[in-house]
Amino acid sequence: MTKKKKIVLVEDHPIFRLGLAELINQENDLEVIGWAKNVSRGIDEIARLQPDLVIADITLENSDGIDLVKQGRKLFKDTPFLVLSMHDEYLYAQRALHAGARGYIMKQEAMESVITAIHHVLEGKVYLNDRVKEQILSNISNQTGEKDQSPLDTLTDRELQVFKMIGKGFSSREIAEKLFLSIKTIGTYRERIKDKLNLKNANALLRSAVHFEKTGQISSRVD
């Protein structure tokens, strides 16, 4: 019998997680052995179970999948990560790969492509769909400077995380509590985000963040 590769899922949506686990477990050589819904629990489960692969959502309970990848790559150097996301393929694909992920897949295509992606990553390859590959290669070869750069590209991973949480309706105090930061620090992040996205005030920031959370895009009219 083929020895099954062990997989841990870090995903906070139970219905999607159960469906993904069922799909993976149908394969003769793959087995989901554990799950978590946030970064801290995910790190604990990886340490305890020592999987061959971790599949992580970008958006997690009170946390961010990018943080999981960064921490995981430092602690478990031989464990590959495959990242899932709902919005803005190019934006998150770049950030996921930069953090150390070995693959990136959109949730909309996960049920069709996840088995292929898993095998690619387990074989030591990097998995990206053709559209994301084309976008990344185009960006590398683009010599026009910042003219074609998305404003979101100027945000750090933490600033993007705060921006997303604003879009979900969390107050500065709630964001600070969830990220274990001070309210003053969150206020600094908010100001930086407004400056980088050229937003005039707090209301414009909120409208832009809500629009991004719904569509994965920055609205051209937020004032």
pLDDT higher than 60, residue 50: yes
Same domain, 131 and 158: no
Same domain, 103 and 165: no
Q: How many domains does the chain have?
A: 2
Per residue in 78-111, is it b (16+ CB within 10 Å) or e — as a string?
Answer: ebbbbbbbebbbbbbbbbbbebbbbbbbbbeebe
Answer whether residue 172 is part of any domain. yes
Residue whose tokens read 């709630």: 174
Answer whether residue 190 is part of any domain. yes
DSSP 61: T
**1: pLDDT confidence band, cut at 50, 70 and 90?**
low
Structural domain boundaries, residue 124 = 5-138
Same domain, 68 and 127: yes
Same domain, 130 and 176: no
The structure's pTM equals 0.77
* Residues near 67 by beta carbon (within 8 Å), at least 6 away in sequence: 39, 157, 161
pLDDT higher than 50, residue 223: no
Answer whether residue 201 is part of any domain. yes
Q: What is the pLDDT of residue 129?
A: 83
- From 138, 170, 199, the end of a domain falls on 138
pLDDT single digits (tens) 104-138: 998 877 777 899 999 999 999 999 888 788 777 77
CATH number (domain holding residue 109): 3.40.50.2300
